[in-house]
Amino acid sequence: MAKTKTDACLQTVAGVPFETLANRLVRFEAGGEERFGHVCSQPAEEVHLCAARGLLLISDEIFPTCHRLPPDQVMVVKELPWDAQNPLIRHRERLLSAAQETSNKIKGFGPGKIFSIPVGDGLAWYVVTKVTAKTATVEWRGFHCDNWRDLTLDCGGAFPRSVIERHVRRCEGLRRIFGPRRGNRRRE
Q: How far is CA 76 from the centre of its chain?
A: 18
**What pLDDT does residue 19 have?**
67
Give the Cα separation of 137 and 177 in Å (integer).
27
**Of 82, 84, 116, residue with least CA distance to 99:** 116
Work out the end-to-end distance of the chain between its first and last CA atoms, rounded to an integer number of angstroms.
75
- Which burial class, exposed, middle or buried, applies to 99 when counting CB atoms under 10 A from its CB (0-12, 13-18, 19+)? middle
Across the range 73-77, mean pLDDT stands at: 83
Domain spans, the chain: 5-76, 87-178
Across the range 92-119, mean pLDDT stands at: 93
pLDDT digits (tens, 9 = 90+) for 35-68: 888 888 887 888 888 888 888 899 998 988 899 9
pLDDT digits (tens, 9 = 90+) for 15-26: 566 666 777 888
**Length of the chain, in residues:** 188
Residue 1 has pLDDT above 60, yes or no: no
Given CATH 3.40.50, say whether it is the number of domain 5-76.
no
Q: What is the pTM of this model?
A: 0.76
Residue 110 has pLDDT above 90, yes or no: yes
Q: How far is CA 90 from the centre of its chain?
A: 14
Question: Which residues on adjacent β-strands are paired with residue 130?
Answer: 137
**What pLDDT does residue 90 have?**
84
Across the range 92-97, mean pLDDT stands at: 90
